[in-house]
Chain A
Amino acid sequence: MKFSPPSKRKFSLLAAFKSMGFLTKLCFSWLVVLVLSAIFADLIPGLDDPNYQAWLFDTTGNELRNDTPSWNHWLGTDVNGRDILARLIYGARVSLAVVASGVTCGVIFGGLFGSFVGYVRGKREAVVMASIDVILAFPGLVLLLTIITFVGARDLKVLCIIIGALSIPIYTRVARANALTVSRREFVAAAEALGTKQRTILIKEIVPNVLPTVLAYALVAAAVLVALEGALAFLGLSVESPAPSWGNMINLARADLRVTIWPAVWPSLALVFTVFSLNNVGDWIRQKAQKRAAAI
Chain B
Amino acid sequence: MLAARLVRLVATLLAVSFLTFFLVNTLPGDPINALIPPDAQQDQEFVAQLREEYGLNDPFFVRYGSWLSDAVSGDLGRSVITDQLVTDEIKHRIPVTGELAIVSIGIAVLLAIPLGVTAGYRQGTKIDQSISALAQFLLSIPSFIVGLVLIYFLSIRLRWLPATGWTRLTESVTGNIKTVIMPAISLALTEIAVYTRIVRSDMINTLKETYVLSAKSKGLKDRFILFRHALRPSSLTLTTIVGLNIAGLIGGTVVIEQLFALPGLGKRLLDAIFQRDFIMVQGVTVFMACVYVVINTCVDLFYMIIDPRIRRKS
Binding site for B on A (CB under 8 A): 130-131, 133-135, 137-143, 145-152, 223, 227, 230-231, 234-235, 237, 250, 254, 257-258, 261, 264, 268, 271-272, 275-276, 279-280, 283
Contacts and interface: CB of A to CB of B under 8 A. Distances in A.
Given A257-B152, A271-B145, A276-B140, A138 B24 contact: no
A-B residue pairs, 5 tightest by C-beta: A141-B251, A150-B27, A276-B140, A139-B250, A134-B15
A238 to B, nearest CB: 13
A234 B140 contact: no
A147 B250 CA distance: 17
Nearest to A236: B274
Interface stretch (B80-88, B103-111, B288-296): B288-296
A89 B255 CA distance: 24
B145 A135 contact: no
Given A134-B12, A235-B270, A268 B23 contact: no
A137 B144 contact: no
A148 B148 CA distance: 25
Nearest to A134: B15
B198 interface: no
Contacts of A135: 19
Contacts of A271: 142, 145
A279 B288 contact: no
B133 to A, nearest CB: 8
Contacts of B151: 257
Nearest to A144: B251
B201 interface: no
B229 interface: no
B281 interface: yes
Nearest to A133: B12
A147 B23 contact: yes
6 contacts: A142-B288, A142-B289, A223-B140, A234-B259, A264-B148, A271-B142
B285 interface: yes
B144 A234 contact: yes
B166 interface: no
B273 interface: yes
Interface string B136-177: 110111111100100110001000000000000000000000
B137 A276 contact: yes
Given A134-B15, A137-B12, A257-B151, A146 B281 contact: yes
A21 to B, nearest CB: 11
B47 to A, nearest CB: 18
Contact of A280 (B16, B136, B144): B136
A226 B74 CA distance: 38
Interface of B: 12, 15-16, 19-20, 23-24, 27-29, 136-137, 139-145, 148, 151-152, 156, 246-248, 250-252, 254-255, 258-259, 269-270, 273, 276, 278, 281, 285, 288-289, 292-293
Contacts of A258: 156
Nearest to A224: B248
B289 A261 contact: no
A146 B292 contact: no
A146 B12 contact: no
A235 B255 contact: yes
Contacts of A141: 250-252, 254-255
A130 B252 CA distance: 26
A137 B136 contact: no
Contact of B281 (A149, A230, A261, A272): A149
A149 B276 contact: yes
A150 B292 contact: no
Nearest to B296: A137
Contacts of B292: 137-139
B251 A268 contact: no
Contact of B278 (A150, A235, A272): A150
B16 A137 contact: yes
Given A134-B16, A139-B289, A231 B255 contact: yes
A137 B293 contact: yes
Nearest to A275: B140
A137 B289 contact: yes
Contacts of A152: 28-29
A223 B276 CA distance: 30
Nearest to B11: A130
Contacts of A133: 12
Given A146-B24, A147-B23, A150-B28, A138 B276 contact: no
